[in-house]
Structure 1
Amino acid sequence: MQISRRMMGFGIIGMGATAMAAGVGFALGEPASTASARETADPLKLVDPELRIAAREMLKQPMPAPSIATLPAMRTGWVPPPVLMAPAPGVLMQIVPASSGVPPVPIEVIGAKLSSRPRPAILHIHGGGMVSGRARNSTAFSQMLAAEFDAVVVNVDYRLSPETPFPGPVLDNYAALEWMVKNASQLGIDTTRIAIMGESAGGGLAAMVALMARDKGQIKPCRLVMLYPMLDDRTGSTRSAPPHIGTIGWSAEANRFGWTSFLGTPAGSSAVPDGSVPARVGNLAGLPPTFIGVGTLDLFIDEDVEFARRLDAAGVPTDLHVTQGAYHAFDFLAPEARVSREFAKAWKSGLHAAFGT
């Protein structure tokens, strides 16, 4: 396992468009007692100096704790960035036909074109805690991916929980992956160079799709890219985080709500549906070469580092990039910060290598 650690001892615009592309925007609320305890710990003290302005803005605008009652406002608060105009790759709306009990799945196909040489492709899965977000919120990001890698990007508008619990969202994304392979010649896709990528909840879903592809044995992605992925329902439920972790961007309470909505059973339960929680899957062998990136102040730090360790133990080539002083989705919230640029360079270089570009 290759580990990139910047000064690591061990191993903005509120609800604006750029933040929403990552699946988060506000510091999601917590009970008063918890918030008070975290306040006394000075949440900005350990934050990288270049990330503090964005962090301060988020902390000024706390959202109510996520719940069934507050979910509609959480969803409508997303502000998608404008679609990029030409010469950026074009965006085509498509519907993946219904199949095997899965209803039609809306997708965005970005950068598709016939060429003399098939091109790489990326299945992109947006974030949003399993309960919010839409493909449209990451259209511009997907256009940038298509341009950077000269690739076809399929951005999936999967169904959300709790209305659609597991396995629905996973099946939607896998159906989009199957559609890419079946239509590869029309889309100009090289089926040996398909990567799966997601941020936050999208990263967790990307892991689930990769596991499903492994188990079915019909599609072999060349790369799995997970940015601060949501991998373990026990985080924030049966496993608590130190006061300085999970303060900015995505809280333990938000995580409990997201996982409970997705699983249809309380997060941290002794039994969960097979394949629904990547961290609980016993055998990780056979997954594609993987990149995992996370910040030391992110709620997901421990589960992401542990998942990378288990991938390595299972013989999966794994790159782990841990950024000191970074919170959830820091690279979207403060893209010009040095640590954000280093973070982007790390996952992009691995993806370029996988694509041979």
Structure 2
Amino acid sequence: MSLIELESLMPVLTGPDAPDFRLPPLEVRERFDTMLAGLPIKDGLAFENAVVGGVPGIWAVPAEAEADLVILYLHGGGYVSGSAAGYRGLAGLIAEAAGGRAFVPDYRLAPEHVYPAALDDALAAYMGLLDAGHEAGSITIAGDSAGGGLAAATVLAAKDRGLPLPGAVTLLSPWVDLDGTGTTLETKSEADPLISAEGLTNCAQVYLGDAHAAAPGASPLYGDFTGFPPLLIEVGTREVLLSDATRLAERAAAANVDVTLRTWRGMVHVFPNLWFALSEGPEAIAELGAFARRHTAGITANSFS
């Protein structure tokens, strides 16, 4: 572990221009997009603009990718910020580790589009992959932070509609309880340099509109996980969202889901996005890719778009 590496990044991650989710959402979006635009992209990844299921986004395609192994990657940003362009690099690295390719949809954001717009778009993108001929079992639905919660909610929504479910689900630092009842929102408040309970509350209020915070489509922690696909959750121990991750793992395990919870000592929110400077980043990305491949490889799709 290299906590020295992490501490060296703190001036950038927490500086005066860093994203502060307590701010008005459009200001959060501007700061967050600026930060994401500064992240490096690894050589060997190609990107293609596309529309899947009526939702615009970006395909991230590694140099060697199996067309029949797909990751639907739902980006973070508190439902008010983030983009396919900002997360194409991370999604591409996970796809590369899995041996497939990733589609990152630009789902609609609040405050312009409140719940369930993001969920509707994520589900539409998943259905678009199925309609294009991809076998459900060859698809991994993945996401980080708000996108991690959205990924879990998308699978629950697909299950409720009787759709075939993806072969795997992988979540990074997932935000799955918009009601804000996790204990580490308080106990990790001093340790977490990136996310605060106040910032989460602000984003939840903007995103939810008139919806109830405990609705499973918004807070999948409260959903029924019976029959849920194999699930990998990765989270750092410095995160205020640590208890979201641990409670989700417990709830899934209680429903007999094949669930793996990986906690990274001393790591912060969505630390694999710092793969270029943090030793733990590539290791976590390799785990995410290996899990996706283990549960989806060998499934043959009929056609692709």
- Fold-level match, TM-score > 0.5? yes
Distance 2:95 2:291 in 1: 16
| 1:11 corresponding residue in structure 2 | none
Q: SS state of the match for residue 155, structure 1?
A: strand
Q: Does 1:235 align with 2:180?
A: yes
Q: Distance in 2 between matches of 1:84 and 1:48?
A: 23
> Conserved in 2, the CA contact under 8 Å of 1:263 and 1:273?
no
Structure 2 counterpart of 1:356: 297
The structure with the larger Rg is: 1
Q: Determine the C-alpha separation between the residues in 2 that align with 1:154 and 1:247.
A: 30
**Is residue 252 of structure 1 aligned with residue 197 of structure 2?**
yes
Aligned-CA RMSD value: 3.0
Q: Give the secondary-structure state (helix, strand or coil) at the position aligned to 2:69.
A: strand
Is 1:176 aligned to residue 91 of structure 2? no
- 1:108 paired to 2:50: no
CA contact (8 A) 1:125 1:206 kept: yes
Instruction: Give matches, 1:200-215, under 5 Å.
Output: 200-215=145-160
Q: Deviations over 1:281-337 (max 9, x none)?
A: 2x2111110000101111110111011011011100001000111111222225453
Moved over 6 A (4+): 82-85, 236-239
- Flag structure 1 segments of 5+ consecutive residues without an equivalent: 1-5, 7-46, 98-103
**CA separation in 2, counterparts of 1:111 and 1:53?**
31
Counterpart Cα distance in 2 of 1:63 and 1:95: 29
Residues 143 and 317 (structure 1), Cα distance of their counterparts in 2 relative to 1, 3 Å cut = same
- Where does the alignment leave 5 or more consecutive residues of structure 2 unmatched? 299-305
Partner of 1:77: 34
* Matched AA of 2:56: P
Quick one: structure 1 residues 252 and 150, their matched pair in 2 at CA, closer, same or farther if it must change by over 3 Å? Answer: same
Choose the corresponding residue for 2:116, options 147, 167, 174: 167
How many residue pairs get matched?
294
Structure 1 residues 317 and 245: alpha-carbon distance in aligned structure 2, compared to 1, 3 A threshold: farther
Report the CA distance between 1:55 and its aligned residue: 2.3
Q: How does 1:131-146 map to 2 (within 5 A)?
A: 131-146=80-95
Q: Percent identity?
A: 25
CA distance in 2 between partners of 1:110 and 1:259 (Å): 29
Once residues 49 and 71 of structure 2 are traced to their aligned partners in structure 1, the CA distance between those partners, rounded to angstroms, is 16
Whether 1:276 and 2:218 are equivalent positions in the alignment is yes
Q: Does the aligned pair in 2 maintain the 1:196–1:223 contact within 8 Å?
A: yes
Q: 1:105 to 1:236 in 2, by over 3 A?
A: same
Show CA shifts across 1:203-231 (max 9, x none).
Answer: 01101101111111222100000000111
Contact preservation (8 Å) 1:294, 1:321: yes
1:66 equivalent among 3, 7, 23 = 23
- Following TM superposition, by how much is the alpha carbon of 1:73 offset from its aligned partner in structure 2, in angstroms? 3.5
- What CA deviation, in whole Å up to 9, does each residue of 1:158-184 have, x standing for no partner? 000121111110110111111111112
Give the drift of 1:82.
6.7
Equivalent-residue separation in structure 1 for 2:5 and 2:41 (angstroms): 28
Query: Deviation per CA, 1:98-139, whole angstroms, max 9, x where unpaired?
Result: xxxxxx4212234499x9x86211111111111001111122
Query: Aligned partners of 2:183 and 2:240: how far apart in 1?
Result: 14
Question: Which one of the candidate residues 125, 132, 154 is aligned to 2:74?
Answer: 125
